[in-house]
Amino acid sequence: MTDMTNRKLPAGIQSFKTIREEGYLYVDKSDIVWQLVNRGKMFNYLSRPRRFGKSILVDTLASYLEGKKELFEGLKIMQLEKDWKQYPVIRLDMSRGGANAETIRSYLNLRFKDYEKMYGITPIPTAQLADRFDAIITTAYQQTGLKVAILIDEYDSPLQHSWKTPEHDKCTEVYREVFAILKADDEYERLVFITGITKFTQISLFSVLNNLTNISFLPEYATICGITEQEIGDNFKPELKKMAEVNGWTLQETHDKLKDYYDGYHFSRRNMVDIYNPYSLINALDTQTLGNFWASSGATSLLPKFVSNAELHLGDFENYPIMSNTLELSDVTGGGAALFLYQSGYLTIKSYDEFGYILGFPNEEVKQALYDMVLPALTMREESDIQSLQSLLYRQLGMGQVDDAMKALKALVADVPYSNKKLASMDMEERYRLIISTIINAIGWKVEVEHMLSTGRIDMVVKTSRYIYVIELKLRNNGGKDAATQQISDRQYMEPFKADKRQVIGIGIELDEEGKGLIDWKRVEEEQQ
Protein backbone atom coordinates (compact mmCIF):
# COMPACT_ATOMS: atom_id res chain seq x y z
CA MET A 1 0.00 0.00 0.00
CA THR A 2 1.11 3.52 -0.79
CA ASP A 3 1.74 5.83 2.19
CA MET A 4 -1.28 8.18 2.22
CA THR A 5 0.68 11.03 3.78
CA ASN A 6 3.50 11.08 1.29
CA ARG A 7 2.15 9.80 -1.97
CA LYS A 8 3.54 10.32 -5.41
CA LEU A 9 1.26 11.38 -8.25
CA PRO A 10 2.13 9.98 -11.69
CA ALA A 11 2.34 13.30 -13.52
CA GLY A 12 3.57 12.51 -17.04
CA ILE A 13 4.49 8.86 -16.26
CA GLN A 14 3.39 6.39 -18.94
CA SER A 15 4.89 3.19 -17.55
CA PHE A 16 2.47 0.96 -15.65
CA LYS A 17 5.42 -0.97 -14.21
CA THR A 18 7.01 2.24 -12.88
CA ILE A 19 3.74 3.38 -11.33
CA ARG A 20 3.16 0.08 -9.57
CA GLU A 21 6.73 -0.68 -8.46
CA GLU A 22 7.70 2.83 -7.38
CA GLY A 23 4.67 3.66 -5.31
CA TYR A 24 2.82 6.09 -7.54
CA LEU A 25 -0.91 6.43 -7.16
CA TYR A 26 -2.79 4.38 -9.74
CA VAL A 27 -6.44 5.01 -10.58
CA ASP A 28 -7.62 1.44 -11.08
CA LYS A 29 -8.88 0.81 -14.62
CA SER A 30 -7.83 -2.85 -14.59
CA ASP A 31 -11.42 -4.16 -14.64
CA ILE A 32 -12.10 -2.28 -17.90
CA VAL A 33 -8.81 -3.59 -19.31
CA TRP A 34 -9.92 -7.13 -18.51
CA GLN A 35 -13.30 -6.53 -20.10
CA LEU A 36 -11.70 -5.16 -23.27
CA VAL A 37 -9.49 -8.22 -23.70
CA ASN A 38 -11.98 -10.89 -22.65
CA ARG A 39 -15.39 -9.52 -23.59
CA GLY A 40 -14.57 -7.17 -26.44
CA LYS A 41 -13.93 -7.62 -30.15
CA MET A 42 -10.64 -8.71 -31.70
CA PHE A 43 -9.96 -5.45 -33.59
CA ASN A 44 -10.46 -2.26 -31.57
CA TYR A 45 -9.88 1.46 -32.07
CA LEU A 46 -10.00 4.05 -29.29
CA SER A 47 -9.94 7.78 -29.93
CA ARG A 48 -9.19 10.15 -27.07
CA PRO A 49 -7.58 13.59 -26.89
CA ARG A 50 -3.85 13.91 -26.33
CA ARG A 51 -2.58 13.59 -22.75
CA PHE A 52 -5.65 11.61 -21.80
CA GLY A 53 -3.93 8.42 -20.68
CA LYS A 54 -3.92 6.39 -23.91
CA SER A 55 -0.27 5.41 -23.59
CA ILE A 56 -0.53 4.27 -19.97
CA LEU A 57 -3.62 2.28 -21.01
CA VAL A 58 -1.60 0.57 -23.75
CA ASP A 59 1.16 -0.18 -21.28
CA THR A 60 -1.34 -1.60 -18.79
CA LEU A 61 -2.81 -3.79 -21.53
CA ALA A 62 0.68 -5.02 -22.43
CA SER A 63 1.50 -5.86 -18.81
CA TYR A 64 -1.73 -7.81 -18.41
CA LEU A 65 -1.38 -9.70 -21.69
CA GLU A 66 2.24 -10.55 -20.88
CA GLY A 67 1.03 -12.15 -17.66
CA LYS A 68 2.77 -9.80 -15.22
CA LYS A 69 0.47 -10.80 -12.40
CA GLU A 70 2.67 -9.26 -9.70
CA LEU A 71 1.99 -5.73 -11.01
CA PHE A 72 -1.76 -6.14 -10.53
CA GLU A 73 -1.82 -7.29 -6.91
CA GLY A 74 -4.62 -5.52 -5.06
CA LEU A 75 -6.35 -4.30 -8.22
CA LYS A 76 -9.84 -5.11 -9.48
CA ILE A 77 -8.58 -7.43 -12.21
CA MET A 78 -7.45 -9.96 -9.60
CA GLN A 79 -11.11 -10.76 -8.94
CA LEU A 80 -11.70 -11.39 -12.63
CA GLU A 81 -8.59 -13.11 -14.03
CA LYS A 82 -7.99 -16.66 -12.81
CA ASP A 83 -5.78 -17.99 -15.60
CA TRP A 84 -2.81 -15.70 -16.21
CA LYS A 85 -1.14 -16.38 -19.56
CA GLN A 86 1.93 -14.86 -21.18
CA TYR A 87 0.73 -13.85 -24.62
CA PRO A 88 3.27 -12.57 -27.12
CA VAL A 89 2.81 -8.80 -27.47
CA ILE A 90 3.92 -6.59 -30.36
CA ARG A 91 3.88 -2.87 -29.59
CA LEU A 92 4.27 0.04 -31.96
CA ASP A 93 4.33 3.71 -30.96
CA MET A 94 3.64 5.65 -34.15
CA SER A 95 4.33 9.00 -32.48
CA ARG A 96 7.95 8.04 -33.13
CA GLY A 97 7.24 7.57 -36.83
CA GLY A 98 7.98 11.14 -37.90
CA ALA A 99 6.09 12.93 -40.66
CA ASN A 100 7.07 11.24 -43.91
CA ALA A 101 7.21 7.79 -45.45
CA GLU A 102 10.97 7.47 -44.95
CA THR A 103 10.82 8.11 -41.19
CA ILE A 104 7.85 5.75 -40.80
CA ARG A 105 9.72 2.99 -42.60
CA SER A 106 12.84 3.68 -40.52
CA TYR A 107 10.91 3.42 -37.25
CA LEU A 108 9.10 0.21 -38.29
CA ASN A 109 12.38 -1.27 -39.48
CA LEU A 110 13.96 -0.71 -36.05
CA ARG A 111 10.98 -2.12 -34.15
CA PHE A 112 10.74 -5.15 -36.43
CA LYS A 113 14.47 -5.82 -35.94
CA ASP A 114 13.84 -5.97 -32.18
CA TYR A 115 11.10 -8.57 -32.60
CA GLU A 116 13.08 -10.53 -35.21
CA LYS A 117 15.92 -10.79 -32.72
CA MET A 118 13.49 -11.85 -29.97
CA TYR A 119 12.08 -14.70 -32.09
CA GLY A 120 15.28 -15.65 -33.94
CA ILE A 121 14.05 -14.54 -37.36
CA THR A 122 16.51 -13.73 -40.12
CA PRO A 123 14.64 -11.95 -42.91
CA ILE A 124 15.96 -12.07 -46.45
CA PRO A 125 17.60 -8.77 -47.48
CA THR A 126 14.82 -7.96 -49.97
CA ALA A 127 11.96 -8.65 -47.56
CA GLN A 128 9.33 -5.91 -47.42
CA LEU A 129 8.07 -4.49 -44.13
CA ALA A 130 4.74 -6.26 -44.55
CA ASP A 131 6.48 -9.62 -45.06
CA ARG A 132 8.61 -9.07 -41.98
CA PHE A 133 5.56 -8.09 -39.91
CA ASP A 134 3.79 -11.24 -41.07
CA ALA A 135 6.79 -13.40 -40.15
CA ILE A 136 6.96 -11.85 -36.66
CA ILE A 137 3.26 -12.51 -35.98
CA THR A 138 3.25 -16.08 -37.27
CA THR A 139 6.57 -17.01 -35.62
CA ALA A 140 5.48 -15.58 -32.26
CA TYR A 141 2.35 -17.71 -32.46
CA GLN A 142 4.25 -20.84 -33.49
CA GLN A 143 6.91 -20.51 -30.78
CA THR A 144 4.53 -19.74 -27.90
CA GLY A 145 1.41 -21.62 -28.93
CA LEU A 146 -0.56 -18.51 -27.96
CA LYS A 147 -2.19 -15.92 -30.15
CA VAL A 148 -0.48 -12.56 -30.53
CA ALA A 149 -1.60 -9.20 -29.13
CA ILE A 150 -0.75 -6.19 -31.31
CA LEU A 151 -0.90 -2.75 -29.69
CA ILE A 152 -0.49 0.34 -31.87
CA ASP A 153 -0.34 3.63 -29.97
CA GLU A 154 -0.91 7.08 -31.56
CA TYR A 155 -1.43 5.53 -34.99
CA ASP A 156 -2.41 8.89 -36.51
CA SER A 157 0.64 10.92 -35.48
CA PRO A 158 2.50 10.71 -38.84
CA LEU A 159 -0.77 11.24 -40.71
CA GLN A 160 -1.50 14.39 -38.72
CA HIS A 161 1.97 15.78 -39.29
CA SER A 162 1.89 15.04 -43.00
CA TRP A 163 -1.67 16.04 -43.81
CA LYS A 164 -1.92 18.80 -46.44
CA THR A 165 1.70 18.17 -47.43
CA PRO A 166 3.08 16.26 -50.44
CA GLU A 167 4.21 13.50 -48.04
CA HIS A 168 0.72 12.52 -46.91
CA ASP A 169 -0.11 10.13 -49.73
CA LYS A 170 3.25 8.39 -49.35
CA CYS A 171 2.61 7.95 -45.61
CA THR A 172 -0.78 6.39 -46.22
CA GLU A 173 0.79 4.02 -48.76
CA VAL A 174 3.10 2.70 -46.04
CA TYR A 175 0.11 2.20 -43.72
CA ARG A 176 -1.85 0.30 -46.36
CA GLU A 177 1.15 -1.84 -47.23
CA VAL A 178 2.22 -2.77 -43.72
CA PHE A 179 -0.99 -2.93 -41.72
CA ALA A 180 -3.04 -4.89 -44.23
CA ILE A 181 -1.29 -7.92 -42.78
CA LEU A 182 -3.25 -7.51 -39.53
CA LYS A 183 -6.41 -8.61 -41.28
CA ALA A 184 -4.66 -11.41 -43.19
CA ASP A 185 -3.16 -12.85 -39.98
CA ASP A 186 -6.29 -12.68 -37.83
CA GLU A 187 -6.17 -16.44 -37.09
CA TYR A 188 -2.94 -15.82 -35.14
CA GLU A 189 -4.15 -12.74 -33.22
CA ARG A 190 -5.59 -12.47 -29.73
CA LEU A 191 -6.22 -8.73 -29.80
CA VAL A 192 -5.47 -5.74 -32.01
CA PHE A 193 -5.81 -2.48 -30.10
CA ILE A 194 -5.17 0.86 -31.79
CA THR A 195 -5.23 4.34 -30.24
CA GLY A 196 -5.25 7.75 -31.81
CA ILE A 197 -6.66 11.25 -31.61
CA THR A 198 -8.08 11.83 -35.06
CA LYS A 199 -9.77 9.33 -37.32
CA PHE A 200 -8.50 8.99 -40.89
CA THR A 201 -11.14 6.54 -42.09
CA GLN A 202 -10.36 6.16 -45.75
CA ILE A 203 -6.63 6.27 -45.87
CA SER A 204 -4.91 4.17 -43.26
CA LEU A 205 -5.66 1.42 -40.83
CA PHE A 206 -9.39 1.93 -41.27
CA SER A 207 -9.28 1.14 -44.96
CA VAL A 208 -7.44 -2.15 -44.52
CA LEU A 209 -9.21 -3.19 -41.32
CA ASN A 210 -12.85 -2.94 -42.27
CA ASN A 211 -13.72 -5.10 -39.27
CA LEU A 212 -12.19 -2.58 -36.83
CA THR A 213 -14.58 -1.77 -33.96
CA ASN A 214 -14.55 1.87 -32.88
CA ILE A 215 -15.01 1.59 -29.11
CA SER A 216 -14.63 5.35 -28.61
CA PHE A 217 -18.39 5.91 -28.20
CA LEU A 218 -19.35 2.67 -26.44
CA PRO A 219 -20.77 3.23 -22.94
CA GLU A 220 -18.74 0.46 -21.33
CA TYR A 221 -15.51 2.23 -22.32
CA ALA A 222 -16.56 5.82 -21.57
CA THR A 223 -14.31 5.93 -18.50
CA ILE A 224 -11.38 3.84 -19.78
CA CYS A 225 -9.28 7.03 -19.98
CA GLY A 226 -9.64 10.07 -17.75
CA ILE A 227 -10.80 10.36 -14.15
CA THR A 228 -14.38 10.35 -12.88
CA GLU A 229 -15.93 12.17 -9.93
CA GLN A 230 -16.16 8.85 -8.08
CA GLU A 231 -12.48 8.14 -8.73
CA ILE A 232 -11.48 11.53 -7.34
CA GLY A 233 -13.36 10.77 -4.14
CA ASP A 234 -11.87 7.28 -3.92
CA ASN A 235 -8.27 8.23 -4.71
CA PHE A 236 -7.40 11.87 -4.15
CA LYS A 237 -8.82 13.01 -0.80
CA PRO A 238 -5.36 13.75 0.75
CA GLU A 239 -4.35 15.79 -2.31
CA LEU A 240 -7.62 17.73 -2.31
CA LYS A 241 -7.16 18.55 1.36
CA LYS A 242 -3.57 19.70 0.79
CA MET A 243 -4.54 21.88 -2.17
CA ALA A 244 -7.32 23.46 -0.11
CA GLU A 245 -4.95 24.21 2.76
CA VAL A 246 -2.22 25.67 0.53
CA ASN A 247 -4.64 28.04 -1.22
CA GLY A 248 -6.88 28.93 1.72
CA TRP A 249 -9.92 27.32 0.12
CA THR A 250 -12.54 25.04 1.58
CA LEU A 251 -12.66 21.47 0.31
CA GLN A 252 -15.84 22.32 -1.59
CA GLU A 253 -14.24 25.40 -3.19
CA THR A 254 -11.24 23.29 -4.23
CA HIS A 255 -13.45 20.64 -5.78
CA ASP A 256 -15.57 23.24 -7.58
CA LYS A 257 -12.53 25.01 -9.05
CA LEU A 258 -11.02 21.74 -10.29
CA LYS A 259 -14.35 20.74 -11.78
CA ASP A 260 -14.76 24.09 -13.49
CA TYR A 261 -11.28 23.96 -14.98
CA TYR A 262 -10.76 20.29 -15.88
CA ASP A 263 -14.05 18.33 -15.84
CA GLY A 264 -16.86 18.15 -18.35
CA TYR A 265 -15.77 15.58 -20.94
CA HIS A 266 -18.34 13.05 -22.20
CA PHE A 267 -17.48 10.27 -24.62
CA SER A 268 -20.72 8.32 -24.97
CA ARG A 269 -24.32 9.48 -25.38
CA ARG A 270 -25.37 6.35 -23.49
CA ASN A 271 -23.03 7.01 -20.59
CA MET A 272 -22.81 10.72 -19.85
CA VAL A 273 -20.56 10.37 -16.80
CA ASP A 274 -18.34 13.43 -16.35
CA ILE A 275 -14.67 12.83 -17.12
CA TYR A 276 -11.81 15.00 -15.86
CA ASN A 277 -8.75 15.58 -18.02
CA PRO A 278 -6.28 13.34 -16.13
CA TYR A 279 -3.14 15.24 -17.16
CA SER A 280 -4.42 18.59 -15.95
CA LEU A 281 -6.09 17.24 -12.82
CA ILE A 282 -3.02 15.32 -11.63
CA ASN A 283 -0.70 18.25 -12.37
CA ALA A 284 -3.01 20.63 -10.51
CA LEU A 285 -3.14 18.36 -7.46
CA ASP A 286 0.60 17.74 -7.65
CA THR A 287 1.47 21.45 -7.70
CA GLN A 288 -1.56 22.71 -5.72
CA THR A 289 -2.09 25.20 -8.53
CA LEU A 290 -4.85 25.85 -11.05
CA GLY A 291 -3.08 26.13 -14.37
CA ASN A 292 -3.55 25.52 -18.07
CA PHE A 293 -1.51 22.32 -17.98
CA TRP A 294 -3.09 20.51 -20.92
CA ALA A 295 -3.23 23.57 -23.10
CA SER A 296 0.38 24.54 -22.42
CA SER A 297 1.70 21.02 -23.05
CA GLY A 298 1.35 21.45 -26.81
CA ALA A 299 -1.35 21.18 -29.45
CA THR A 300 -1.99 18.52 -32.05
CA SER A 301 -0.26 19.39 -35.30
CA LEU A 302 -3.57 19.56 -37.15
CA LEU A 303 -4.93 22.44 -35.09
CA PRO A 304 -3.56 25.28 -37.24
CA LYS A 305 -4.93 23.52 -40.32
CA PHE A 306 -8.46 23.63 -38.95
CA VAL A 307 -8.68 27.07 -37.39
CA SER A 308 -9.06 29.15 -40.52
CA ASN A 309 -11.71 31.75 -39.66
CA ALA A 310 -12.27 30.06 -36.29
CA GLU A 311 -12.12 33.50 -34.68
CA LEU A 312 -15.46 34.27 -36.32
CA HIS A 313 -17.15 31.10 -35.09
CA LEU A 314 -15.97 30.54 -31.53
CA GLY A 315 -19.33 31.65 -30.18
CA ASP A 316 -21.01 28.95 -32.27
CA PHE A 317 -18.98 26.24 -30.53
CA GLU A 318 -20.67 26.96 -27.20
CA ASN A 319 -23.71 25.06 -28.42
CA TYR A 320 -22.89 23.33 -31.69
CA PRO A 321 -25.20 20.79 -33.41
CA ILE A 322 -23.58 17.95 -35.34
CA MET A 323 -25.12 14.88 -36.96
CA SER A 324 -24.50 11.50 -35.34
CA ASN A 325 -22.91 9.99 -38.44
CA THR A 326 -20.56 12.94 -38.79
CA LEU A 327 -19.32 12.64 -35.22
CA GLU A 328 -19.15 8.85 -35.02
CA LEU A 329 -18.20 7.79 -38.55
CA SER A 330 -16.69 10.62 -40.56
CA ASP A 331 -13.10 11.06 -41.60
CA VAL A 332 -11.52 13.99 -39.77
CA THR A 333 -10.36 15.52 -43.05
CA GLY A 334 -13.93 15.80 -44.34
CA GLY A 335 -15.88 16.33 -41.15
CA GLY A 336 -15.14 20.01 -40.64
CA ALA A 337 -13.68 21.98 -37.77
CA ALA A 338 -16.21 20.83 -35.17
CA LEU A 339 -15.40 17.14 -35.70
CA PHE A 340 -11.69 17.84 -35.41
CA LEU A 341 -12.17 19.98 -32.31
CA TYR A 342 -14.18 17.16 -30.72
CA GLN A 343 -11.61 14.47 -31.49
CA SER A 344 -8.74 16.63 -30.28
CA GLY A 345 -10.45 17.53 -26.99
CA TYR A 346 -11.49 21.15 -27.54
CA LEU A 347 -15.18 20.25 -27.71
CA THR A 348 -17.15 17.50 -26.04
CA ILE A 349 -20.64 15.96 -26.08
CA LYS A 350 -23.11 18.14 -24.17
CA SER A 351 -26.31 16.35 -25.09
CA TYR A 352 -27.93 14.01 -27.59
CA ASP A 353 -31.39 13.62 -29.10
CA GLU A 354 -33.03 12.16 -32.20
CA PHE A 355 -31.50 14.93 -34.33
CA GLY A 356 -27.91 14.27 -33.30
CA TYR A 357 -25.35 15.66 -30.87
CA ILE A 358 -24.85 19.06 -29.30
CA LEU A 359 -21.17 19.85 -28.72
CA GLY A 360 -19.62 22.52 -26.51
CA PHE A 361 -16.52 23.45 -24.55
CA PRO A 362 -15.89 20.91 -21.77
CA ASN A 363 -14.31 23.33 -19.30
CA GLU A 364 -12.63 26.66 -18.72
CA GLU A 365 -9.09 25.44 -19.45
CA VAL A 366 -10.01 24.32 -22.94
CA LYS A 367 -12.21 27.30 -23.70
CA GLN A 368 -9.48 29.72 -22.68
CA ALA A 369 -6.89 27.81 -24.72
CA LEU A 370 -8.93 27.99 -27.92
CA TYR A 371 -9.75 31.67 -27.52
CA ASP A 372 -6.11 32.39 -26.78
CA MET A 373 -5.05 30.55 -29.92
CA VAL A 374 -7.24 32.63 -32.25
CA LEU A 375 -6.54 35.99 -30.59
CA PRO A 376 -3.50 36.87 -32.73
CA ALA A 377 -5.51 36.24 -35.91
CA LEU A 378 -8.40 38.32 -34.64
CA THR A 379 -6.32 41.24 -33.41
CA MET A 380 -3.87 41.00 -36.31
CA ARG A 381 -0.96 41.26 -33.88
CA GLU A 382 1.99 39.06 -33.05
CA GLU A 383 1.47 36.79 -30.06
CA SER A 384 4.42 38.41 -28.27
CA ASP A 385 2.78 41.84 -28.63
CA ILE A 386 -0.44 40.61 -27.07
CA GLN A 387 0.85 38.72 -24.04
CA SER A 388 2.04 41.67 -21.93
CA LEU A 389 -1.24 43.53 -22.50
CA GLN A 390 -3.19 40.38 -21.65
CA SER A 391 -1.28 40.02 -18.38
CA LEU A 392 -2.03 43.63 -17.46
CA LEU A 393 -5.71 43.27 -18.34
CA TYR A 394 -6.04 40.05 -16.31
CA ARG A 395 -4.52 41.65 -13.21
CA GLN A 396 -6.34 44.95 -13.53
CA LEU A 397 -9.78 43.40 -14.03
CA GLY A 398 -9.04 40.99 -11.21
CA MET A 399 -8.16 43.86 -8.86
CA GLY A 400 -10.96 46.22 -9.91
CA GLN A 401 -8.62 48.76 -11.50
CA VAL A 402 -11.14 49.87 -14.07
CA ASP A 403 -9.28 52.78 -15.69
CA ASP A 404 -6.05 50.83 -16.09
CA ALA A 405 -7.96 47.81 -17.43
CA MET A 406 -9.75 49.95 -20.01
CA LYS A 407 -6.42 51.43 -21.15
CA ALA A 408 -5.05 47.91 -21.72
CA LEU A 409 -8.26 46.92 -23.52
CA LYS A 410 -8.04 50.04 -25.69
CA ALA A 411 -4.52 49.08 -26.74
CA LEU A 412 -5.67 45.57 -27.67
CA VAL A 413 -8.64 46.58 -29.83
CA ALA A 414 -7.12 49.56 -31.62
CA ASP A 415 -8.06 49.52 -35.31
CA VAL A 416 -8.99 45.87 -35.26
CA PRO A 417 -12.53 45.94 -36.60
CA TYR A 418 -11.53 48.34 -39.34
CA SER A 419 -8.47 46.44 -40.52
CA ASN A 420 -9.67 42.84 -40.18
CA LYS A 421 -11.48 42.14 -43.43
CA LYS A 422 -12.94 38.89 -42.10
CA LEU A 423 -15.23 41.00 -39.93
CA ALA A 424 -16.57 43.11 -42.77
CA SER A 425 -19.96 41.40 -42.94
CA MET A 426 -20.69 41.98 -39.26
CA ASP A 427 -22.50 44.89 -37.66
CA MET A 428 -19.95 47.25 -36.06
CA GLU A 429 -21.10 46.71 -32.48
CA GLU A 430 -21.17 42.96 -33.13
CA ARG A 431 -17.54 43.15 -34.29
CA TYR A 432 -16.53 44.87 -31.10
CA ARG A 433 -18.43 42.37 -28.93
CA LEU A 434 -16.65 39.51 -30.66
CA ILE A 435 -13.21 41.05 -30.26
CA ILE A 436 -13.61 42.17 -26.64
CA SER A 437 -15.23 38.90 -25.50
CA THR A 438 -12.48 36.90 -27.22
CA ILE A 439 -9.80 38.97 -25.48
CA ILE A 440 -11.40 38.45 -22.05
CA ASN A 441 -12.06 34.75 -22.65
CA ALA A 442 -8.43 34.33 -23.66
CA ILE A 443 -7.11 35.75 -20.39
CA GLY A 444 -9.28 33.36 -18.39
CA TRP A 445 -12.13 35.43 -16.98
CA LYS A 446 -15.66 34.22 -17.62
CA VAL A 447 -17.65 36.18 -20.19
CA GLU A 448 -21.32 35.97 -21.11
CA VAL A 449 -22.28 37.88 -24.25
CA GLU A 450 -25.78 39.32 -24.62
CA HIS A 451 -26.98 38.27 -21.17
CA MET A 452 -30.80 38.32 -21.14
CA LEU A 453 -32.82 40.05 -18.41
CA SER A 454 -36.49 40.93 -18.25
CA THR A 455 -35.47 44.58 -18.64
CA GLY A 456 -33.17 44.10 -21.61
CA ARG A 457 -30.05 42.46 -22.94
CA ILE A 458 -26.65 43.20 -21.42
CA ASP A 459 -23.85 43.33 -23.98
CA MET A 460 -21.36 41.58 -21.73
CA VAL A 461 -21.07 40.21 -18.19
CA VAL A 462 -17.51 39.50 -17.03
CA LYS A 463 -16.93 37.55 -13.81
CA THR A 464 -13.60 37.53 -11.97
CA SER A 465 -12.78 36.12 -8.55
CA ARG A 466 -13.58 39.45 -6.82
CA TYR A 467 -15.71 41.47 -9.25
CA ILE A 468 -18.62 41.20 -11.66
CA TYR A 469 -18.48 43.69 -14.53
CA VAL A 470 -21.67 44.69 -16.33
CA ILE A 471 -20.53 46.16 -19.63
CA GLU A 472 -22.57 48.02 -22.24
CA LEU A 473 -21.07 48.98 -25.60
CA LYS A 474 -22.22 52.01 -27.62
CA LEU A 475 -20.87 53.55 -30.79
CA ARG A 476 -19.99 57.24 -30.54
CA ASN A 477 -22.73 58.19 -33.01
CA ASN A 478 -25.24 56.25 -30.90
CA GLY A 479 -24.73 58.13 -27.67
CA GLY A 480 -21.37 56.63 -26.62
CA LYS A 481 -20.40 56.10 -22.99
CA ASP A 482 -23.15 58.35 -21.58
CA ALA A 483 -25.90 56.42 -23.34
CA ALA A 484 -24.28 53.15 -22.29
CA THR A 485 -24.11 54.01 -18.59
CA GLN A 486 -27.63 55.48 -18.70
CA GLN A 487 -28.91 52.21 -20.15
CA ILE A 488 -27.20 50.20 -17.38
CA SER A 489 -28.89 52.42 -14.78
CA ASP A 490 -32.33 52.79 -16.35
CA ARG A 491 -32.72 49.07 -17.04
CA GLN A 492 -31.19 48.07 -13.70
CA TYR A 493 -28.67 45.75 -15.33
CA MET A 494 -26.61 45.49 -12.16
CA GLU A 495 -29.43 44.52 -9.80
CA PRO A 496 -29.54 40.73 -10.45
CA PHE A 497 -25.86 40.38 -9.50
CA LYS A 498 -25.92 42.33 -6.21
CA ALA A 499 -26.75 39.22 -4.18
CA ASP A 500 -23.34 37.84 -5.18
CA LYS A 501 -20.52 38.36 -2.66
CA ARG A 502 -18.44 39.93 -5.41
CA GLN A 503 -18.59 43.67 -6.06
CA VAL A 504 -20.62 44.66 -9.11
CA ILE A 505 -19.18 47.35 -11.39
CA GLY A 506 -20.99 48.85 -14.37
CA ILE A 507 -18.96 50.18 -17.30
CA GLY A 508 -20.16 52.02 -20.38
CA ILE A 509 -17.68 51.79 -23.27
CA GLU A 510 -17.67 54.23 -26.20
CA LEU A 511 -16.49 52.87 -29.55
CA ASP A 512 -15.58 54.47 -32.84
CA GLU A 513 -18.31 53.97 -35.43
CA GLU A 514 -15.74 53.67 -38.22
CA GLY A 515 -14.00 50.79 -36.52
CA LYS A 516 -10.97 52.63 -35.19
CA GLY A 517 -11.20 51.16 -31.72
CA LEU A 518 -12.16 52.05 -28.16
CA ILE A 519 -12.53 55.80 -27.56
CA ASP A 520 -13.51 56.22 -23.93
CA TRP A 521 -15.31 54.64 -21.00
CA LYS A 522 -17.36 55.62 -18.00
CA ARG A 523 -18.08 53.86 -14.74
CA VAL A 524 -21.64 53.71 -13.47
CA GLU A 525 -21.73 55.88 -10.37
CA GLU A 526 -23.22 54.50 -7.20
CA GLU A 527 -25.96 57.10 -7.14
CA GLN A 528 -27.00 56.14 -10.67
CA GLN A 529 -27.71 52.58 -9.67
328-332, 354-358, 396-400: range with lowest mean pLDDT: 328-332
Predicted confidence band of residue 415 (pLDDT cuts 50, 70, 90): low
Query: Is the domain of 512 the same as that of 404?
Result: yes
Predicted confidence band of residue 377 (pLDDT cuts 50, 70, 90): low
27-36, 62-71, 255-264, 513-522: range with lowest mean pLDDT: 513-522
Query: Is the domain of 338 the same as that of 428?
Result: no
CATH number reported for the structural domain that contains residue 516 in this entry: 3.40.1350.10
Query: Is the domain of 288 the same as that of 313?
Result: no
pLDDT higher at 1 or 374: 374
Which residue, of 221, 249, 277, is where some domain finishes?
221
Q: Write out the DSSP string of 251-309.
A: HHHHHHHHHHHH--B---TT----EE-HHHHHHHHHHT----HHHHT---TTHHHH-TT
> Residue range 296-312: average pLDDT?
64
Confidence check: pLDDT of 520 > 50: yes
Distance CA 333, CA 306 (A): 9
Residue 246 placed within a domain:
yes
What pLDDT does 203 receive? 56
Contact 329, 356 (CB under 8 A): no
Residue 241 placed within a domain:
yes
Please state, as a whole number, how many other Cβ atoms lie within 10 Å of the Cβ of residue 421.
Answer: 8
Confidence check: pLDDT of 226 > 80: yes
pLDDT higher at 385 or 140: 140
Residue 4 placed within a domain:
no
pLDDT digits over 95-112, tens only? 999 999 999 999 999 999
Predicted confidence band of residue 529 (pLDDT cuts 50, 70, 90): very low
**Angle at the Cα of 159 from the Cα atoms of 154 and 164, rounded to 5 degrees:** 150
What pLDDT does 205 receive? 67
> Residue range 38-45: average pLDDT?
95
Number of domains in the chain: 4
Confidence check: pLDDT of 247 > 50: yes
β-pairing, 456-463 with 446-453? Answer: antiparallel
Residue 2 placed within a domain:
no
The domain in which residue 494 lies consists of 380-528
> Residue range 487-512: average pLDDT?
96
What pLDDT does 353 receive? 96
Query: Is the domain of 491 the same as that of 387?
Result: yes
Query: Is the domain of 146 the same as that of 208?
Result: yes
β-pairing, 456-463 with 43-47? Answer: unpaired
DSSP 97: S
Confidence check: pLDDT of 50 > 70: yes
Which residue, of 360, 379, 398, is where some domain finishes?
379
Query: Is the domain of 504 the same as that of 365?
Result: no
Predicted confidence band of residue 334 (pLDDT cuts 50, 70, 90): confident
Average pLDDT, whole number, for the chain? 91
Q: Tell me the pTM.
A: 0.86
> Residue range 330-350: average pLDDT?
89
What pLDDT does 527 receive? 43
> Residue range 259-269: average pLDDT?
97
Residue 460 placed within a domain:
yes
Query: Is the domain of 172 the same as that of 293?
Result: no
Residue 504 placed within a domain:
yes
> Residue range 466-476: average pLDDT?
97
CATH number reported for the structural domain that contains residue 149 in this entry: 3.40.50
Query: Is the domain of 413 the same as that of 285?
Result: no
Residue 21 placed within a domain:
yes
Predicted confidence band of residue 380 (pLDDT cuts 50, 70, 90): low
Contact 451, 457 (CB under 8 A): yes
Confidence check: pLDDT of 528 > 50: no
Residue 356 placed within a domain:
yes
Query: Is the domain of 496 the same as that of 479?
Result: yes
pLDDT higher at 281 or 301: 281
Confidence check: pLDDT of 379 > 80: no
> Residue range 339-351: average pLDDT?
94
Query: Is the domain of 450 the same as that of 370?
Result: no
Query: Is the domain of 443 the same as that of 336?
Result: no
Query: Is the domain of 373 the same as that of 422?
Result: no
Which residue, of 206, 221, 236, is where some domain finishes?
221
Predicted confidence band of residue 386 (pLDDT cuts 50, 70, 90): confident
> Residue range 114-126: average pLDDT?
96
